[in-house]
């Protein structure tokens, strides 16, 4: 087979040749790449020289380059532009990759060499980055079963291979359930309250499905504004029930058994490795390095946010009653009355703001912000192969003209794309034998599409989402490390959200909005009064939002701190965990866990608390920018040097103090969110 995955890529910068790649290429390419990588591993393990950092840790770090390239393409495409054939390829390949990974970490000769280097790391004249990499490799071997007896190694292999396919199936089910629902409206009266921008998009969606009228989906650009503006309470209920029951409907896409299987296997593998819970195993190298620290942190924020959450909820209930609402305020009422009260209090809502946030202007503004802060330049190019015609590509250069990165951006929802937004990479940065390899970074979102009469106009939440993912991208693009495993976003999970959440702060700053936000039709600059209202509304319902986010953190930790095998009813388990943060009546037939892809399909298991943890860091960091000036070159240079460029080459706390000059304080977060003003 003429397999492009195994050939030299002659696109500019060695970019992946997406148009040439077919799902059928992946398995044979992976098999060949594994065979080649296995020879590299064998050579390291059987090397007769005394093990040291260079001949063991560094050589292991550089092994399997082709396999890594192929894997990143497969799994990134499986999230951004998948189909049944690609999903099947991912399912076929995943056990092979897990088996190969196990072959490495369970290789006794190799582990002995790793262990020797690890035990002598303090006396071997290693620099900090080399020590960190050595510790990371050693920990990965320990968690990979290196110290196990043979009988346990066998079971370890079985569990890890099964887990690799279960997480794929979990996400496949969520995507299938998201795509399979539609709310088809044929009567114009049923559109009451919906903005024209949304109904126009819904009409286009209906036409694309060869239907008359309007079609609304569970993808965010359709679902969120429908819940905010539809006056038809029964239809809001229908939409919310559909969204909240994804993969929980008793059909072939139901995730209940998969969840139980995943948590039980995670517990079993943790106990095999000598830990009492999966969370204990996972958190060992985090800033919050024990389950107790995480739970204490969540409890602290819970106590701080509870009065504000109850206040926010009572305000909505009171407003809804004054607006004529009868009976209890249900979850499908929250976004609707919340948006109406926001407009009453602050005279803004998403539909007032959207005209000032055309996607083209937002993109230029965010790129311009990066140029202002860090001096980097963005050059659009059509010479880089892409996996879908909608993907845009940019070459990124530093202020001295040196090449930094390729950037792929994929903005709009499609049936083959998972929900949400994320940053990922097709190649990570490393410095290999004095030759620097620069990264290929990708941003994938599900933003509002343009229509026949207007460009893509973003909601304020979409604006902050763009800033968030772009912050991750800067972490990936600006990194300057020696080893790929430590570069860019390869940092502890509760530190990785600092650069992303830090960038969101600019959305509330007049000094930045004044430089670009203007009406897409008239060109009128965004009025000062609107910017003032954005700032005033920044803490609106923040108590409730914090409460809601904490509920997900508590749920994640509950699933991953079980100490005994469970066959629990997942609805009952979830309800008991979230009861302390639940303000609405429980809705039968709905479930968060069944579509909680962050922890069952992605890498945030026992790590979802990290979003709130990083909020403390980002609020404190941005307060420093506010003190010195939000475009201050020296402050930005320090943030770049100590945070964005360093990746995981030192302990996160040390990197943060190097930037900030002191430990982070929770005070800035409490001030920003208004939780200290009750």
Model confidence over 161-212: pLDDT tens digits?
Answer: 999 999 999 999 999 999 999 999 999 999 999 999 999 999 999 999 999 9
Give the global pTM.
0.96
pLDDT band at 255; cut points 50, 70, 90: very high
Other residues' Cβ atoms within 10 Å of the Cβ of residue 345: 14
Domains of the chain from N-terminus onward: 181-244 (no CATH), 355-542+610-673 (1.10.1370.40)
How many residues can be counted in the chain? 678
Token pair recorded at residue 79: 């999230």
Strand, coil or helix: what is 392? strand
Residue range 552-578, pLDDT digits in tens: 999 999 999 999 999 999 999 999 999
**Comparing C-alpha atoms, which of 508, 152, 136, 560 is closest to residue 346?**
508
pLDDT at site 433:
75
Residue 677, pLDDT above cutoff 80: no
Q: Tell me how far apart the 2 most distant CA atoms of the chain are, in Å.
A: 81
Tell me 644's DSSP state: I
- Convert the pLDDT of each residue in 500-546 to its tens digit: 999 999 999 999 999 999 999 999 999 999 999 999 999 999 999 99
Which residues, 6 or more positions from 601, have their beta carbon under 8 angstroms from its beta carbon? 167, 168, 170, 171, 174
- Which stretches within 181-290 are classed as H helix? 196-208, 220-229, 233-244, 256-272, 278-282
Catalytic residue among 428, 469, 484, 574: 469
Helix (H, G, I), strand (E, B) or coil at 83: coil
Give me the pLDDT at residue 1, please: 66
What are the beta bridge partners of residue 432? 435
How much is the mean pLDDT over the chain?
97
Cα–Cα distance measured from residue 239 to residue 497, given in angstroms and rounded to the nearest whole number: 30
Cα angle vertex 507, ends 659, 199, to 5°?
Answer: 150
Residue 676 has pLDDT above 80, yes or no: no
Give me Rg for the CA atoms of the chain: 25
Tell me how far apart the alpha carbons of residues 641 and 64 are, in angstroms, rounded to a whole number: 30
User: What phi, psi does 189 have (nearest 5°)?
Assistant: -60, -25
pLDDT of the residue at 675: 82
CB 130 within 8 A of CB 57: yes
Tell me which DSSP letter residue 358 carries: B
The whole-number pLDDT of residue 674 equals 86
347 is annotated as an active-site residue: no
- Arithmetic mean of pLDDT, 32-48: 98
Percent share of the chain, pLDDT over 90: 97
Residue 678 has a pLDDT of: 60
What single DSSP character describes residue 449?
P
Q: What is the pLDDT of residues 292-347, one digit of tens each?
A: 999 999 999 999 999 999 999 999 999 999 999 999 999 999 999 999 999 999 99
CA distance 413 to 449: 8
Q: By the 8 A CB rule, do 474 and 379 touch? A: no
Cα separation, 286 vs 492, whole angstroms:
5
Tell me the per-residue pLDDT of 501-511, one tens digit each, with 9 for 90 and over: 999 999 999 99
For residue 443, the cross-strand partners are 409, 423
**What digits encode the pLDDT tens for the residues 391-425?**
999 999 999 999 999 999 999 999 999 999 999 99
**Residues 415, 429: contact at Cβ < 8 Å?**
no
HSE-up (13 A, CA, CB side) for residue 479: 34
CA angle 172, 174, 179 (to 5 degrees): 95
pLDDT at site 224? 97
The pLDDT of residue 590 is 98
């Amino acid at each position: 087979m003429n397999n492009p995955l195994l050939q030299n890529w002659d696109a500019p910068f060695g970019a992946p040749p997406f148009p040439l790649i077919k799902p059928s290429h992946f398995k044979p390419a992976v098999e060949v790449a594994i065979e080649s990588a296995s020879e590299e591993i064998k050579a390291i393990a059987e090397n007769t020289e005394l093990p040291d950092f260079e001949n063991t840790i560094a050589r292991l770090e550089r092994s399997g380059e082709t396999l890594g390239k192929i894997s990143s393409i497969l799994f990134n495409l499986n999230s951004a532009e998948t189909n049944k054939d690609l999903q099947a390829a991912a399912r076929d390949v995943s056990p092979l990759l897990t088996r190969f990974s196990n072959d490495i970490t369970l290789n006794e000769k190799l582990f002995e060499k790793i262990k020797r280097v690890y035990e002598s790391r303090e006396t071997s004249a290693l620099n900090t980055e080399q020590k960190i990499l050595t510790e990371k490799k050693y920990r990965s071997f320990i968690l990979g079963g290196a110290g196990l007896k043979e009988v346990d190694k066998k079971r370890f292999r079985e569990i890890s291979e099964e887990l690799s396919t279960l997480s794929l199936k979990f996400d496949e089910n969520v995507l299938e359930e998201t795509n399979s629902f539609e709310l088809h409206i044929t009567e114009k009266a049923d559109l009451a309250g919906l903005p024209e921008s949304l109904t126009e998009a819904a009409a286009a969606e209906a036409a694309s499905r060869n239907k008359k009228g309007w079609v609304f989906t569970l993808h965010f650009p359709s679902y969120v504004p429908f819940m905010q503006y539809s006056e038809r309470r029964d239809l809001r209920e229908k939409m919310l029930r559909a969204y909240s029951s994804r993969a929980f409907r008793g059909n072939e896409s139901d995730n209940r058994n998969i969840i139980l299987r995943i948590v039980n296997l995670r517990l079993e593998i943790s106990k095999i490795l000598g830990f009492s819970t999966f969370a204990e195993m996972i958190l060992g190298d985090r800033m919050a390095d024990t389950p107790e620290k995480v739970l204490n942190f969540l409890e602290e924020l819970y106590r701080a946010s509870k009065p504000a959450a109850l206040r926010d909820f009572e305000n909505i209930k009171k407003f809804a009653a004054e607006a004529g609402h009868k009976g209890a305020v249900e979850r499908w009422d929250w976004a609707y009355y919340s948006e109406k009260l926001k407009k009453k209090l602050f005279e803004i809502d998403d539909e007032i703001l959207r005209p000032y946030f055309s996607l083209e202007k937002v993109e230029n503004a965010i790129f311009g912000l990066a140029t202002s802060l860090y001096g980097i330049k963005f050059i659009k190019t059509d010479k880089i192969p892409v996996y879908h015609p909608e993907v845009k590509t940019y070459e990124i250069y530093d202020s001295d003209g040196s090449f930094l990165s390729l950037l792929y951006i994929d903005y709009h929802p499609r049936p083959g794309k998972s929900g949400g937004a994320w940053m990922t990479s097709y190649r990570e940065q490393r410095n290999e034998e004095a030759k620097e390899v620069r990264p290929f970074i990708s941003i994938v979102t599900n933003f509002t599409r343009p229509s026949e009469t207007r460009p893509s106009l973003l909601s304020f939440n979409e604006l902050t989402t763009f800033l968030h993912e772009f912050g991750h991208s800067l972490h990936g693009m600006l990194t300057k490390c020696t080893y790929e495993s430590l570069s860019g976003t390869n940092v502890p999970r509760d530190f990785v959200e600092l650069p992303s959440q830090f960038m969101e702060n600019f959305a509330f700053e007049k000094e930045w909005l004044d430089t670009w936000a203007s009406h897409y039709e008239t060109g009128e600059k965004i009025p000062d009064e609107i910017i003032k209202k954005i700032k005033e509304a920044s803490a609106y319902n923040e108590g409730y939002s914090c409460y809601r986010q904490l509920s997900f953190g508590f749920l994640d930790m509950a699933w991953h701190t079980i100490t005994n095998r469970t066959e629990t009813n997942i609805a009952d388990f979830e309800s008991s965990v979230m009861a302390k943060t639940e303000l609405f009546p429980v809705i039968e037939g709905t479930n968060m866990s069944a579509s909680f892809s962050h922890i069952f399909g992605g890498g945030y298991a026992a790590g979802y608390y990290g979003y709130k943890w990083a909020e403390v860091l980002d609020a404190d960091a941005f307060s420093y920018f506010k003190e010195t000036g939000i475009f201050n070159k020296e402050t930005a240079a320090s943030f770049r040097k100590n945070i964005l460029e360093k990746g995981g080459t030192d302990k996160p706390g040390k990197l943060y103090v190097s930037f900030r000059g002191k430990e982070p304080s929770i005070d800035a977060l409490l001030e920003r969110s208004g939780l200290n003003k009750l």
